[in-house]
Amino acid sequence: MRFPFIAGIIIQAATFAIGLPQSPFIGKWQTRVSRVTHKSNITVNIVEQEQRLGAAVVLVNPDASEIQLPIAIVNITENVIEFETHDKNDTFYWSLTVQKNRNRGLLHGRCREMLIDESVRKQR
């Protein structure tokens, strides 16, 4: 009856190799590609750093130059992450809602009177 014991060890080793489930937010989330710049208008890069999430938002200007803004994570629920970015005197309030297939989502942003609602895709 060694088989159940060995099988248990193999299953336990596989669990440690796989680790904890990865957050559905981790990855590179991009809006559609601009015809002018040939880049995604907005990219949200979310990474895991020391068991915490870190991130930056990259905004592309019409001349194809980029502004990279680090984010401060405010709130995380099951499928929504809310965060802020700061650029000079402006604060942008963002939320990224991950859809059920985990490769698509909706990015909502606002700053003063400006509103942003964009579909995003997770890049592999």
According to the model, what pLDDT value does residue 35 have?
A: 93
Whether residue 95 is predicted with pLDDT greater than 50 in this model: the reply is: yes
Is 41 within 8 Å of 32 (Cβ atoms)? yes
Where do the structural domains in the chain lie, given as residue ranges? 22-123
CATH of 22-123, one of 3.30.300.30, 2.40.128.210, 1.10.3720.10, 2.60.40.10: 2.40.128.210
CA distance 104 to 95: 14
Distances (CA, A) of 77 to 24, 70, 74, 80: 11, 20, 10, 5
Task: Decide which of 5 and 121 is more confident.
Answer: 121
CA atoms within 13 A on the CB side of 41: 13
According to the model, what pLDDT value does residue 16 have?
A: 37
pTM over 0.95? The answer is no
- Per-residue model confidence as pLDDT tens digits over 21-61: 578 899 999 999 999 999 999 999 999 888 888 889 999 99
Distances (CA, A) of 76 to 3, 22, 94: 43, 14, 12
Task: Report residue 19's pLDDT band, with 50, 70 and 90 as the boundaries.
Answer: very low
